[in-house]
Homo-oligomer: A and B are copies of this chain.
Amino acid sequence: MQFELTSEYLDKLRDAIDDKDAAFLNAQLHELYAPDIAEIINQLRDSEAAYIYELLDDETAPNVLLELDDDMRERLLATFSSKQIAEQLDNMDSDDAADVISELPQNIQEEVLSHIEDLEQASDIAELINYQEGTAGSLMAKELVSVYGFETVNACIEEIRRQTDNVDVMYAVYVVDNNERLIGMLSLKKLIISHPLARIEEIQDPDIQYVKTSTTSEEVAEIMQKYDLVVLPVVDQFGRLVGRITIDDVVDVIRETAEENIQRMSGLSDDVDSNDDLWRLSRARIPWLLVGMCGGIVGSRIIGTYEQQIKIHPEMAYFIPLIGAMGGNVGVQSSAIIVQGLANNTL
Q: Interface of A with B (CB < 8 Å)?
A: 1-2, 33, 35, 157, 160-161, 164, 167, 169-171, 187-189, 191-193, 209-212, 215, 219, 222-230, 247-248, 251-252, 254-255, 258-259, 261-263, 265-268, 272-275, 281, 285, 288-289, 292-293, 295-297, 299-301, 303-304, 307, 310-311, 314-315, 317-326, 328-330, 332-333, 335-341, 344, 346-347
Contacts and interface: CB of A to CB of B under 8 A. Distances in A.
A321 B322 contact: no
Most chain-B CB neighbours within 10 Å: which of A2, A248, A333, A335? A333
A304 B262 CA distance: 36
Contacts of A252: 225
A300 to B, nearest CB: 4
A325 B275 CA distance: 26
B336 A266 contact: yes
Q: Is the interface of A mostly helix, strand, loop or mixed?
A: helix
17 contacts: A1-B215, A35-B226, A35-B227, A160-B192, A255-B258, A258-B261, A262-B336, A265-B265, A266-B332, A268-B333, A274-B347, A289-B333, A292-B326, A296-B326, A311-B311, A311-B314, A324-B325
A317 B321 CA distance: 10
Contact of A161 (B193, B259, B325): B193
A234 B149 CA distance: 38
